[in-house]
Structure 1
Amino acid sequence: MAGNTPRIVELAAQISTSVAQLQEQLSAQGLPSPSFDESFNATYPPNVTQLRDSLLDASAELHELLLDPLMVLFKFASISNLAIIDLVARYKIPEMIPPGGRISFEEIGQKVGLETNVIRRFLRNAMAMHILEEPEPGMVAHTSISKFLANPAINGWAEFEGRDTWPASTRIVDAVQKWPNSQLPNETAWVLANNGKSVQDVIATEPERAMRFANGMGAIDYVPGYNMSLLPTVYDWASLGNAKIVNVGGAMGQAAIELTKNFPNLTVIVQDSAAMMGGGGGQLVPAELKDRITFQEHELFAPQNETAPVYFFRLAFRGLGDQFAERILKAQIPALEPGAKLLIQDVVMPEHDVVPLWKERTQRSVDMALQVFGNGRERYLDEWKALLAAADKRFVLEKVHVPKDNLLGVLEVTWKA
């Protein structure tokens, strides 16, 4: 379009064209059009993701251009939205609504011990965010979003965000002022909000909150681009041949299961603390894979005692400041033989304006949460290179694999002794 065309007109034209193309693609593949109907499953085939990305960014920009500055700030600063989500999750309201059915404000109020006018007030706030709907006056029904909230893992995450993450997030600036540039896990916003307790302290002493934290972390599998099922596609694992992989910080073997069931030539040793392995590990491993997956109690910072051609780390560094991430890398050195590989699956933070804005906003929001919990962070490529060099110059970054539509890359590092 001409250079003097108003931006809102350009955006409207782009949105109109992209919507038509998106709908054409969905119809051709027999897929439903996006909807808030509770039966809608918001998954999109790979060939429409670029169209969807451009639509999300253009529609957000148009929406924000049409708001005045105060309303833009309010959109991003609204505390009440999270409070409403917390209420819906904490009272488990989505579980009260039968699939395809409805329930009255009055019935919900009776179940949760609140007056009808109180529950109506809260839930109509939720409806303004397309969480729940009111198909007829006084009746509550599902949307696709509230149906998703009925998933126990997602419900747990929502509770964790409202009851644990949010109070700590309000102390980010206080922590930065109190401990400038700190990388220590006991000098964080979380510590300020929890009477001096770190995340590890809370997990060790408060079982209910530890469960919420576990649910919050488990919900990452539902974030597009993070799902464990994508692991076999993000690297050429078959090229490793008959390889033994040490999965450092492998918890209960979720990654090991995905790798061994897809690549018959691989065997995996899962290393982690007894607590993270669920008391010794193996509970999740199918019988047919038990001879190819073993568990070994091993603390993350302890010197590596297992010699192998490949060491795999999935999301092991992002929660840690550089001085602690360096310790993990250095701990591997005693067992490394020339040519050994370290495969690090983690976020390679994009530069500004490189990925679609909606994805960038998500990644930067997660990045801030990592600072809240333990002064960790997502790293840019130059920061990954600096980390490897600081740990030991013999760690050589060979390649960075960042598959399309995946938020996690794989850094391929070779030990060149």
Structure 2
Amino acid sequence: MAESMLRGLAAEITKLADSFASSLQENNLPEASFGVDSPMSHKGITAEMFITRQALSDKLMDMWYLVQGPSESIFNYVIPDAACLNVLNHFNFWSAVPLDGSASYSEIAERVSLPQDVVTRILQHGITLRLFEEVDGDSSRIRHTSRSAALARQVGLQALVSSVLDITGAPMMAMTSALEKYSKGKTQLTQDMRETAFALFHSTGPFGKKYVNSWEYLENDGEGDHRGWRQAKFVEFMRYIKEIFQLEGVVVNAYDWKAAGKATVVDVGGSAGHDAVLLARKYPDLNLIVQDMPMVKPVFEADCPPDVRDRVSFVEHDLYLPQPTQADIYMLKLILHDYSEPEAVNILKALTPGLRPGNRVIVIEYIGKVDEGTDAKKDPLPLSVRQMGTSTDLRMMAMFNTSERPAESYRGIFRAADERFDVVNVKADPLSFMAVIEAVWRGY
């Protein structure tokens, strides 16, 4: 009799689960649970624990696929799950249920201003995803689980859901039409940002307006005082991203900021200035200028702490236009991966009018192609780790007709922008998905 794959997987899952649980215990780290008082995440785990956790995730997914069977595992795909989460998030069901109590379906319906039948059906599906649960012994009342409580407690996590599902979700479903219309029969993906799935989805104005790219959408969606509400959410999303990827450490370690002395640093596309504030507090000699779209300025002005206002300022700037500010160092964090290579080249070219010999450009990027350029003899990264990159890679295709790139590819992008750029350092960490590329302007 052939060996049971299910039993083999079960044994591997037991072994990996025991290893991860033991490591948590040895490091005095709490396990997550479905209880409302569960820790928000497994903070403090080591790189080895991370790989164990992701290997366990891979085995669990394989088990799910096998238990469901090929047909059912495809039939039971997650589109309704994503739609349910998006509705719960958009209408803020999270605040409609008290963290320390419960609420009835009718109370929730009143708080989110939706028909009770709609609320009931949305919540009933959410419960199957461990987003909320019915109170023991009283199925008419709803309370939080750890998953819904995390969203109630963290506005950044809400902003992440909004950015990933509400902004990119529908355009990703339009990828088939965009590829059919613009790329079928060609040897490579069209690089024109007017021919993205996002642009095609918004070309008929499903929300009353037409947008070519997501930046127009973020900046202009909404009317009156509500205009730009998506931009405010995106700023919150970027604030939260730095926690997920521990970006404060990445920014601090990206360059020897102390050795820079009394330098001026421009944070190009720096959102509401989170990184500039971080650097200003840690390195008192630095003068920092944040550049971003006009709609971000009020958020910057509201959030910039008084203790650094004399060294952190905001300048409205379109990164396609010639750089108006002379500085010593220009930092672009999580900017270029949103653009095709020709567009990324143009963004770097726009920096050159103000550059002087010895100026530096620091690019901090998410690297989705984590396996490219690695030693073939090494064990491959877990599928769940690779999926983090491939998921973002598909979002880049839908939104910008670009892709997540390996770190080394940025050497060619700098060279194409101007031969006077000299890339002097490329550091990449596949487990954090972050890379730092440092270029010096030679000016001759």
Same-fold call, TM > 0.5?
Answer: yes
Q: AA paired with 2:172?
A: S
Aligned partner of 1:197 among 196, 206, 211: 211
TM-score, normalised via structure 1 length: 0.86
- Matching residue of 1:146: 148
Matches within 5 A, 1:233-382: 233-238=252-257, 240-242=259-261, 243-278=263-298, 282-349=301-368, 350-351=370-371, 354-382=380-408
Residue identity in the other structure for 1:392 = D
Equivalent in the alignment of 1:50 = 51
Q: Distance in 2 between matches of 1:398 and 1:5?
A: 54
What do you get for the CA RMSD once the two structures are aligned? Answer: 3.0
**Change in 2 beyond 3 A, CA 1:71/1:339:** farther
Tell me, in whole angstroms, the C-alpha distance in 2 between the residues paired with 1:115 and 1:275.
34
| Distance of 1:265 and 1:358 partners within structure 2 | 42
Q: Which runs of 5+ in 2 are unaligned?
A: 184-188, 205-209, 373-378
In structure 2, the partner of 1:68 is 69
**Aligned 8 A contact 1:85 1:126 in 2:** yes
Q: 2 CA distance for matches of 1:290 and 1:159?
A: 31
Deviating more after overlay: 141-150 vs 265-274: 265-274
Change (3 A) 1:74 1:360: farther
The DSSP-based 3-state class of the residue aligned with 1:402 is strand
Cα 1:210/1:226, change in 2 over 3 Å = farther
Cα distance in structure 1, aligned partners of 2:114 and 2:307: 51
Q: Structure 1 residues 291, 183: CA separation in 2 closer, same or farther (over 3 Å shift)? A: same
Q: CA deviation at 1:156?
A: 4.5
1:154 maps to a residue whose letter is L
Taking structure 1 as reference, are residues 120 and 252 closer, same or farther at Cα in structure 2, changes over 3 Å only?
closer
1:103 is aligned to 103
Quick one: distance in 2 between partners of 1:91 and 1:366?
25
Alpha carbons 1:156, 1:212 under 8 Å: kept: no
Match of 1:20 among 18, 23, 48: 18
Alignment CA distance shift 1:210-1:161 (3 Å): farther
Q: Distance in 1 between matches of 2:22 and 2:35?
A: 20
Cα 1:149/1:237, change in 2 over 3 Å: same
What do the CA deviations read for 1:233-253 (whole angstroms, capped 9, x no partner)?
Answer: 442434633033222222332
1:371: Cα distance to partner? Answer: 2.9
Please report how far the alpha carbon of residue 404 of structure 1 lies from its aligned counterpart in structure 2 after TM superposition.
Answer: 6.8
Alignment of 1:124-135 (within 5 A): 124-135=124-135
1:155 matched residue in structure 2: 158
**TM superposition shift of 1:213:** 5.0
Deviates more, 1:162-171 or 1:227-236: 227-236
Flag the 1:44–1:405 CA change in 2: closer, same or farther, 3 A: farther
The sequence identity of aligned pairs, in percent, is 24
Who is 2:176 aligned against?
Answer: 173
Q: Which moved more, 1:237-246 or 1:318-327?
A: 237-246
Q: Give the gaps of 5 or more residues in structure 1.
A: none
Query: Does the C-alpha gap of structure 1 residues 163 and 185 become closer, same or farther in structure 2, counting only changes over 3 Å?
Result: same
Indicate if the aligned counterparts of 2:221 and 2:230 stay in contact, CA closer than 8 A.
Answer: no
